[in-house]
Amino acid sequence: MRVAKFVLLISLVAMLWGCSSTNTVDIAKLGDPPSTTELAEIHNQRIDPLDTLWARISLRAKGTYSDGASYEEQGEGHLQLVKPTNISLTIGKLGETYFAFGANAEQYWSFDLSNGDRKTVLIGQLDQTTPEKAGAIGLPVHPAELIALTGLMPIDLTRAGGTRWADDGKSVGVSMPSRWGSVMLWINPKTNLVVRSQAFDRVGDLVATAELSRYKEASIKGGQPVLVPGKIEITTPNDSGFIRIELSEPRSKAIRPIVFDPSKLLRAYRVDETINLDAVFEHSDTKLNTQSDGEP
């Protein structure tokens, strides 16, 4: 497996977004959509008990590289979240971890462990992140905003805009500013679940899309379970491929701190080379080669 595949995965995972259906209805006949306050209160109350999330994942990725070569891969791993900033995603096969992405309140990183003779990690400081640096590990959004795109973060009423019907009339969109553009969450007013989310850049162009479906209960010790998306299908505007992630056994539980500590992960994974993204982009105009020769 190549790093580029995982990079595409994260840029599409990482961030969890959606698009509107091409089927249109006469929106005027639907009346006014639910207000931002109404949607936010219901949404926030529903997800408030979920401070952490642990889940097994299976993944299928299909697409093309920049050189036109096609690929199709499958893998499994874990997704771990501690709101509001900490995220960890690992991907591998047969119990072996080949890639690991993460972010905390200070840093973000991407490990390539697919080549046992040369394990590498790209790492950067969160407060120095630029779209170009994030793009080096495949992220079209700021690393600190990945959890928000899963639909599992509260809607900030002090920053949210108004609401509008989707073209198919089945969901209501709520827009919020992001560091590099905006995020739109589409909520089904009948179920109060986020069915898709969209990320846009500064000029309003769509960056990535994810459909969130097959919601399942994430167990919470001493409380009622919270519904989380069991299937996330992700696409980007300029790629005909997709990333399909399916969650199993989701639960809220204590997450081991090591998964959000890159210095400890460096030792645990026995990494051979650390690449400082901030230093690379400060001293060189050369693009990083994020494609490995090895296959898992």
- What secondary structure letter does DSSP report for 20? -
For residues 52 and 256, what is the distance between their CA atoms, to the nearest angstrom? Answer: 11
Which sign, positive or negative, has the C-alpha torsion 281, 16, 62, 206? negative
User: Within a 10 A sphere around the Cβ of 291, how many other Cβ atoms?
Assistant: 14
Residue 30, both tokens: 């639907």
Spell out the alpha helix ranges (H) of the chain: 3-13, 36-47, 131-136, 262-268, 277-283
DSSP string, 153-198: S---TTT---EEE-TTSS-EEEEEEETTEEEEEEEETTTTEEEEEE
Strand pairing class (273-276; 120-125):
parallel
Mean pLDDT of all residues in 53-60: 94
DSSP designation for 221: T
Partners of 213 in the beta sheet?
A: 231
Across 81-109, average pLDDT = 93
Query: What pLDDT is recorded for position 149?
Result: 81
| pLDDT tens digits, 180-236 | 999 999 999 999 999 999 989 999 999 888 899 999 999 999 899 999 999 988 877
Q: How many CA atoms lie within 13 A of 286 on its CB side?
A: 7
Nearest one of 233, 168, 228 to 196, comparing CA atoms? 233
Average pLDDT of span 118-144: 90
For 154-163, what is each residue's pLDDT tens digit?
999 999 999 9
Q: Quick check: 1 pLDDT over 70?
A: no
* Residue 294 C-alpha from the chain's centroid: 25
Q: Please, what are the domains in the chain? A: 3-283 (2.50.20.10)
Specify the pLDDT at position 239: 73
Distance CA 5, CA 203 (A): 27
Confidence (pLDDT) at 16? 41
Cβ 287 vs Cβ 280: under 8 Å: no
Share of the chain above pLDDT 70, in %: 86
Residue 57: band (very low, low, confident or very high) from pLDDT cuts 50, 70, 90: very high
* pLDDT value for 208: 82
Calculate mean pLDDT across residues 253-267: 96
Which pLDDT does position 236 carry in this prediction? 79
- What pLDDT score does 248 carry? 97
Examine the pLDDT at 4 and tell me if it is beyond 50: no
